Structure formats: structure tokens, C-alpha cells
Chains A and B, each alone.
Chain A
Amino acid sequence: MVPTDYYVLLSAALFTIGVLGVLLRRNAIVLFMSVELMLNAANLALVAFAYRHANIDGQVLVFFVISVAAAEVAVGLALLVTIFRTRSTTDVDEVSTLRG
């Protein structure tokens, strides 16, 4: 039986990897993947806590997070396609006409 603390530590590690991914990578698709990693790390923590406390609220939130993440990625990829059509790049550093 794996103690729930291990799951929480794993989720913290995954969350950190996700944050670092967003901060360090420059490709928009990889950025989306990193954000997904952050959200799923939170899901893992929620499920672990819900299991430990034998409480259902955390699992309910997980379903909402999954659906929200799907909606967010749908909008994000649609935007990415439109940007790719105009600029032929997915590198976020190359898409920067707004400055100041």
C-alpha cells in the first residue's frame, strides 16, 4: 500500500516540472503540454487527498478541471492554428509585434 504522502510529493514534483516547462520552453505547443502537466499534477494531489480523507469533493473538482483543461486547449490550439497561418511559426518569441 503506497502512502498518500508519496502521491502528494509526486504531484508537487510534476507541478514543478510543469512550471519550469512554461518558464523555460519557447514552443507554444510544449507550453500547452507543460500547463496540462500542472493541471494534472493538481488533479493527482486532489485525488490523493480525497482518498486520504475519504471525502468526495476533491474528486468532483477533478472532473471540472479535466473539462476546463479540454476547453482551454481547444481554444488554445484554434488560436495556434490561426497564428501559424499568418506567421508560419509556433515559437512564442517570434510572435511579438506588441512591445513597449
Chain B
Amino acid sequence: MNIAFPDINMLVILPLIVIFGSALALLLIDLFFIPAGNKKITGYLALAGLLFTGLAGVPLWGMEESSFSGMVVVDTFALTLNVIFIIIAAITIIISLDYLPRQGIEQGEFYPLILFATGSFVLLAQSTNLILIFLGIELLSITLYVLTGFAYPRLSSEEAAMKYLLLGAFAAGFFVYGIALIYGETMTVDLNQIRLYLTELESSSTAAVPGPTLLLIGGALVLIAFSFKIALVPFHMWTPDVYEGAPTPVTAFMSVGTKGAALAALIRIVTIALPTVQDAWVPVLAVLAAATMIVGNVGAVAQTNVKRMLAYSSVGHAGYIVLGVVAMSAHGIEAFLFYLLAYSLTNLGAFAVIIVLEQRGESAWSLDDFSGLGQRQPMLAVAMALFMLSLAGVPPTAGYLGKFFVFAAAWESGLGWLVLIGVITSAIAIFFYLRIIVRMFMHEPVRDVQPALHRSITWTIAVAAGAVLLFGFMPNLFIDLAQRSVIALGG
């Protein structure tokens, strides 16, 4: 009997092997060798794992290859995203090092879980097959459910995890059923073959042959599932609660990483599989983006809890990032990548400042706790002000350029109304971001909050702030990379 094995190229999945391998190894090392109470070592080892994952991407640079029967692909788009994801994970781990023991929730499993989640991001960026995308989304979700509930037995954390899990599992149901319908129509779960099926259908299309109805219904279900993961309105209800209840580093991690990874997979699906049925999904996604920008930013205005305000603001930012996807152009993808990088650095920095102010047993999330921060901790206040300006999209920050690029891309694609909504909501957003700055510099301190400034987190905030400014002044450092990614996508 002859069994023909398909050609496989292990090099294509090298980053995945390294990150999952180090996550598994770390679980065992943590269990047997790291003494309780000294789990920081696990954190440092996790950073080493991330470093190796980054190094594993170096020999792949410039490669464009798909392997495992076209299930996994490596190209500059995936590798660029990998770099962003590794930066996100590294910052998350560094800001957790002191936070976890301070909150009394230090468990060694935290760091391997972050690695698993990052591995699922990488998987999502590289996969071109619906089965793999499903696996990536689920791996990401299940690790995040655990991480959200990590502050057990704090009830808010448990409750957040429960809500996240119920809605996440609900979304997974939609996702699988959507894949089932797409599969029923096209007989394949491979994105390239779905496109082949659609182009064939188009060329043979007559009045007698019905359109791809099942595929469109399935696509709508898949879009619902993605909207849950990216937190697009009206599927965002869980976001404020989950972001508030989760431990702060986890909130920071999922507010940037999950969105980026899920959108990367969505971009693969729409650019590879569905370009021929653009008329069906672009308007839907555009309306979702508009609703997201409006609800996210208007919702943030009413918040006095800064962590919750950042949760709403991250909903709003999801809308802006989606603008880059609905533009369906090379500039759109570039804008998406740049916005993701700028937003990740800014948001992680802002959450790092919140972590510094957060003490054991009490949370300094109220606006009052920021009052007078400019007198007590001028450098910290300046960094926070910079992050707020970048989130609001004020020049000369990276956030400003990110917004500019996504708006320009959407404008070129003829989505003027969407750009208008984006600009108006950005103006609304300036109000609540500026409110924090005003509190920090023009109010007297209301109560004494002792910032827990350790060296690692101080450096993280400084580096993030520096990067936000650097990319604000010199976007070309990254744009070049983004442009090559677009060529790789065939955009």
C-alpha cells in the first residue's frame, strides 16, 4: 500500500514550533524547578522564549512559501505581525513581573499561558485554512478565559472570566456553523480553493445557477464570530466588563493582541477567499465599523473609572483599525499594520501607568487618583499624557499617523462617509482623553496614591513613550516593512 505524504517544509512553521515548544517546556520547568515565591524566573525564561521565537523569524525573512498542503503560509505580512505580537507579549510579561506578586496572584502558569496565547496569534497570522483559523481562535480564547480569571478568588475577575467564556463559546458556535455552511457550499475549507470555487461560479454564472447563498450565510456567521472576538458593536457587550474585571496586564494584552490576531485572520479570509463577493461583505463591515467608532467613543465619555474608559476606548479603536480592512486596498493593509503597532505601544504604555498606580487590595482606577499626578510624579504624568494624546490622535504621536493612514486609505476606497464618522468620533474622543491630562496637571491631589515604580516597568513605560514619539516623527521606519507585507499578500 502506498501512502503519499504531501510535501512539508518544517521551516514554514519554525516560529510556531519554537513558541509552543518553549511554552510547553516552561510549564514543566516551572512545575519542577522554580520555587514558589520566585516565579519571576519563569517570567524571565518566557522572555527568553519570545526572544528565540523572534530569532526563528530571522532566517524566514523574505520567504514566501506555503506548506502542509497550503494550510500554513509564511510571508512578510505574517512575519511583520509576528514581530508586533512578540513585542506585545514581551511588554505584557515585563509589566506583570511586579504586578502579580503585589496583587498576591503570582502563579508560574501565568507566563506559559501568555506564550500559548502569543503562539495562537502567530498561528492566526500564518494560517490559510479555516480549520487552522478555528483552532487558533479557540486556543487564543481558552487561554484568555483562564488568564481573565487569574485573579481568583477576586469575584470581579471570576465574573469577567465567566462572561467572557459564555460569550466566547457562543461566538465559537457561530464560527463552526459558519464554516460548516461554507464547507457545504464549496466542499473545501482551504481559503485559496474557496476563491477558485467563487471565480469559477462567477464565470459560469447564468440566471439558472443561483449565487453562493450558503457561502454568504456561512460568511455572515463567521463575521459575527469575528465581531465578538474583535469587539465590534453590537457584539461588544462583554468588553467593558471583561476588561475591567481581568488582571490589568491581561487587559492590556487582550486589548491589543486579540484584536490584532483576529483581524489578521479576517484579512486573510477576505483578501484570499472572498475578494469576488466584495459587494456582499464590505458594506456590512463598514456599518459595523461605523457603529463601533460611535458606541465606543460615546460610551467612554460617561466613564469615571479609567480602566473602564480605556475598555470603551479600545472598542472605539477596533472600529478605526477595521477601516484599514474595509478599504480593501494595499494602503488599507499598510494602515492596518501601522495602526496596530501604534495602538499596541500606546495602549500597553497607558495600562502600564495604571499598573504602577494600582496597589494591593485597592485599585487606583478612579479619575481622582490621577489628580495632581503631575506634581507628584512629573515624568509618569508626562508619559501618561503622551499616551492619551496618541490614543486621541493628536500630532506628533504615532496614534495620529495611524489614524491619518486608515482615514486616507478609507477615503481612497470611496468610503467618505465612514471617514467623516471617524473624524467626528475622534473629536469626541479628545474630550475624555484630555480630561485625564487636565486632572493630572491642573488639579490638586485628592488622595495619596503611592506609585509602585520598579525599574523594569519604568523602563517599559519610557521605551513605549519613546517609540510612540519615534514612530510619530519617523513613520518610515515601519512603513517600509508594511509595504513589503502588502506585496506579500498580493494586494
Which residues from chain A sit less than 8 Å from chain B, CB to CB?
A: 8, 11, 15, 18-19, 22, 28, 31-32, 35, 38-39, 41-43, 45-46, 48-50, 52-53, 55, 57-58, 60-61, 64-65, 68, 71-72, 75-76, 79-80, 82-83, 85-87, 92, 95-100
Contacts and interface: CB of A to CB of B under 8 A. Distances in A.
A57 to B, nearest CB: 5
A52 to B, nearest CB: 8
B156 A45 contact: no
A96 B472 CA distance: 41
Contacts of A11: 180
Given A31-B166, A32-B169, A45-B184, A79 B161 contact: yes
Interface in B168-214: 169-170, 172-174, 176-177, 179-181, 183-184, 187-189
Contacts of A92: 162-163, 166
B135 interface: yes
B244 A42 contact: no
Contacts of A15: 173, 177
B176 A42 contact: yes
A22 B244 CA distance: 23
A42 B131 contact: no
Given A79-B162, A92-B166, A98-B241, A45 B173 contact: no
A22 to B, nearest CB: 5
Interface stretch (B10-18, B141-149, B290-298, B377-385): B141-149
Contacts of A53: 187
Contacts of B152: 82
A80 B162 contact: yes
Nearest to B304: A100
B142 A71 contact: yes
Q: Is the interface of A mostly helix, strand, loop or mixed?
A: helix
Contacts of B333: none
A70 to B, nearest CB: 11
Interface string B99-140: 000000000000000000000000000000011001100100
Interface of B: 130-131, 134-135, 138, 141-142, 145-146, 149, 152-153, 155-156, 158-163, 165-166, 169-170, 172-174, 176-177, 179-181, 183-184, 187-189, 240-241, 244-245, 302-303, 305, 308
A48 to B, nearest CB: 8
Of B145, B165, B241, B308, most A-chain CB atoms within 10 Å: B165
A2 B169 CA distance: 31
6 contacts: A31-B166, A52-B184, A83-B162, A97-B155, A98-B245, A100-B240
Contact of B131 (A41, A61, A80, A82): A61
B145 A39 contact: no
A35 B169 contact: yes
A82 to B, nearest CB: 5
Nearest to B135: A64
Of B138, B169, B172, B184, most A-chain CB atoms within 10 Å: B169
Given A46-B183, A58-B183, A61-B179, 6 more contacts: A15-B173, A38-B174, A46-B179, A49-B184, A58-B189, A76-B166
A15 B144 CA distance: 25
A75 B165 contact: yes
Contacts of A55: 187-188
Contacts of A22: 166, 170
Given A28-B166, A61-B183, A86-B153, A68 B177 contact: no
A49 B180 contact: yes
B182 to A, nearest CB: 10
Contacts of B172: 35, 39, 68, 72
Given A35-B170, A68-B135, A71-B142, A57 B159 contact: no
Contacts of A64: 131, 134-135
Contacts of B183: 46, 49-50, 57-58, 61
B169 A76 contact: yes
Contacts of B303: 100
Contacts of B135: 64, 68
A22 B131 CA distance: 25
B162 A28 contact: yes
A72 to B, nearest CB: 5
Given A61-B189, A76-B165, A95 B159 contact: yes
Contact of A87 (B145, B155, B188): B155
Contact of B146 (A8, A18, A68, A75): A75
What 7 A-B pairs come out closest when comparing CB atoms?
A38-B173, A42-B176, A45-B180, A49-B184, A98-B241, A42-B177, A35-B169
A92 B165 CA distance: 12
B176 A39 contact: yes
Of A60, A79, A86, most B-chain CB atoms within 10 Å: A79
A66 B306 CA distance: 40
Contacts of A41: 177
A28 B162 CA distance: 9
Contacts of A45: 177, 180-181, 184
B289 to A, nearest CB: 24
B459 to A, nearest CB: 32
Of B156, B173, B184, most A-chain CB atoms within 10 Å: B173
Nearest to A76: B165
A68 B171 CA distance: 13
A49 B277 CA distance: 23
